[in-house]
Amino acid sequence: MSLKRSRPRGYNLRSSNPGEINIDDESFYTTDVINVTSRLDIYIYGTIAGLDDPSASQLINLIETTDAPNIMVTISSFGGDLYTSLAIYNALRSRMPETNVITIGNGIVSSGAAIIFMAGEQRLAYGHTTFMVHGPQYDGYMTGSTKNFETDAKFINSMYRNFISEAFKGKFTEDEISDICDKNVNKYFDTQEALKREIVTELIFGQPDSE
């Protein structure tokens, strides 16, 4: 995931009640309100936008205010902004236990997208999906005091390490957490490995053959 504020490319919001929710045409997600008393479906594709993008704040607000007892989030994304990913994770987790939150991985669930995926109480995946977890990264041109950068980097790495230890509790060894947070090693998993580690709790279909 990145700390860069970038403009995403993505998809338009769709609603079963057109006109009730309006966001910018360039969004990283779509939604379907299947039934306000049944389920809110969210589809996250492409680059996850920064918090200064209206689509990010509107998605978080939608999660926090929906009356639907079930929220299903389908994710196919290489990741994006760290703080947006954490805010979506927090919003989804805050709805439990009153709301049933299900996340679904399809194709690629990487970086910030993996953060959001872990918000699900039930975490489903298709059989040929790649998962990747790594440490926070700066992306693009930066200005300001180098001392501040050092302070910021230390804080962000500490915060992120605490998050990984909590959200992925029991799924990584201490050495693996150190690799991710201190050495910024990219940790890749296929669906089968993700199932073994209980990152994924249920397979939808397409179980890879065990060796």
Residues of the chain with pLDDT under 70: 1-29, 31-37, 138-144, 146, 206-211
Q: Report which secondary-structure segment, H or E, holds 139.
A: none
pLDDT digits 0-9 by tens, 73-127: 999 999 999 999 999 999 999 999 999 999 999 999 999 999 999 999 999 999 9
Task: State the chain's mean pLDDT as an integer.
Answer: 82
The answer to whether 96 touches 63, Cβ cutoff 8 Å, is no
Considering the entire predicted model, what is its pTM?
0.81
